[in-house]
Amino acid sequence: MYRRLSTMTDVVDIKAGLRNVLERIAIVSNNRTIQKNVQLVAVSKTKPVEAILEAYEEGQRHFGENYVQELQDKANDPVILEKCKDIKWHFIGHLQSNKVNKVVKLPNIHMVETIDSQKLAENVNSSWEKYRLNDSGKLKVLIQVNTSGEENKSGVNPKEVSQLYDYMNQKCTALETVGLMTIGEYGYDYSKGPNPDFVSLLECAKSVKGNESLELSFGMSDDFEKAIEIGSTIVRVGSSIFGYRTKK
Ligand SMILES: *Cc1c(COP(=O)(O)O)cnc(C)c1O
């Protein structure tokens, strides 16, 4: 089914896009030796609620957003609340301390993928403990790693991952620290070999105690197949499902 999306002039078949991405995920997952399921997070940032409904109707449950205000609007949207009772939101943007309570209070928040400091971990932990723990159980979180070392990217230094992971497991008892996430450099040229950001994240995972069951979130529209081949368990895919975004 085709549907014209609010301000966009092009027409995107979201259901077909989603099916295509899921098919490609299934093929690479079957061909790899690692026996782990791959979770698709459909990144719906800048896209309207109708786009989310389309994907939800097609069976998609995990959605990612990276602006707090936008996620707040969508998660509290009456139509989403009514029709998408089983939706699972992933927060994938930079989280400032003053916005922590907003994210913690969101209906159907499932995972915060971007814990990038001990201080943020402590803030999210105490907020979750205060507002949600009793009703919702622990909040799943990932540690975001700055694998490319770019100054404009958030994330902890790869060398600090293991220490922060241990700290969070011991001290942040309202959280379930389930793994690691990286964004990495955009536009990597794969003719040069495996993506060094992905390789770095895998190295970080090895440095963590009890690393067999870690979730590893890396891979986006342009490279999710490459990511899955080498061990990604969560891929965050936006434009391949919802169409191109106009820049903010
Ligand atoms: C936008 C975004 C994505 C998805 O990017 P696409 O290239 O559209 O698939 C994934 N992860 C993060 C953190 C993002 O901000």
45 falls in which pLDDT band (50, 70, 90)? very high
Ligand 1 atom with the shortest distance to the CA of 237: 9
Length of the chain: 248
pLDDT digits (tens, 9 = 90+) for 105-143: 999 999 999 999 999 999 999 999 999 999 999 999 999
CA of 184 to the centre of ligand 1 (A): 11
Band of the pLDDT at 61, cuts 50, 70, 90?
Answer: very high
**Ligand 1 binding pocket includes 142 (Cβ within 6 Å):** no
Sign of CA dihedral 242, 180, 97, 171: positive
Pocket test for ligand 1, best of 43, 63, 94 (most atoms within 8 A of CB): 43
Q: Which of 198, 194, 232 is nearest to 216 (CA)?
A: 232
CA angle 232, 118, 44 (to 5 degrees): 45
- Output the residue whose Cα is nearest ligand 1's atom 13: 92
Number of other CB atoms surrounding residue 228 within 10 Å = 25
Q: 0.85 cut: is pTM over it? A: yes
Per-residue pLDDT of 1-33, as tens digits, reads 445 555 554 578 999 999 999 999 999 999 998
Ligand 1 pocket, residue 140 CB under 6 Å: no
CA 28 to chain CA centroid, Å, is 19
What domains are defined for the chain? 14-242 (3.20.20.10)
Backbone dihedral region of 187: left (phi > 0), alpha (psi from -120 to 50 degrees) or beta?
A: left
